[in-house]
Amino acid sequence: MQFELVSPERRLASEEVTAVRIPGADGDMTAMADHAPTITSLRPGILTIETSGGEDSFAVTGGFAEIGEGVTVLAERALHVSDVTQAVIDDWVAEAHAKHKEASGDAIDVAAKLLADMVAMGGHIGLYPSQGNS
């Protein structure tokens, strides 16, 4: 099936894939050929595509995935995992930390989840932020 990954800055991937593992806001999911049509929001995490040549992974900070005849992901921010540096993780976590500090009411839980997801995403690729998620 055709896979497209687009961020506001550029198209990161456009290729034939056999499966896409998506960090959905309501849980991880794998899209394969003949998947039921679905639209899901993304949480910060690692999106992995499987091709005949192997796997490739991208860090995404949010956005949407549309599954139909193919899979199209519109990411808020996305980078190939090889391009995610310690400085990138530190910046993304610092932004999430600032949102958490500014949040009030019902938004506190959402901001705390965002911060935890950012920290977990970095840990998944072996990068740990210089500040915790307090």
Are residues 38 and 97 located together in one domain of the fold? Answer: no
57 burial type by CB count under 10 A (0-12 exposed, 13-18 middle, 19+ buried): middle
Please give the model's pTM, rounded to 2 decimal places. 0.89
Same domain, 89 and 30: no
DSSP 3-state of 123: helix
Query: Do 100 and 65 share a structural domain?
Result: no
Q: Indicate if 96 and 113 belong to the same structural domain.
A: yes
The answer to whether position 133 is within a domain reads no
What distance lies between CA 79 and its chain's CA centroid? 9
Q: Are residues 8 and 71 in the same domain?
A: yes
CATH number at residue 76: 2.60.15.10
Q: What is the predicted pLDDT for the residue at 73?
A: 98
pLDDT at 4: 98
Question: Which of 88, 79, 41, 76 is closest to 59 using CA atoms?
Answer: 79
Output the pLDDT for position 131: 53
CA–CA separation, 76 and 74 (whole Å): 7
10 Å CB burial of residue 34 (0-12, 13-18, 19+) is: exposed
The C-alpha angle 97, 133, 42, rounded to 5 degrees, equals 70
pLDDT tens series, the chain, 134 aa: 999 999 998 999 999 999 999 999 999 999 999 999 999 999 999 999 999 999 999 999 999 999 999 999 999 999 999 999 999 999 999 999 999 999 998 899 989 999 999 999 999 899 988 754 44
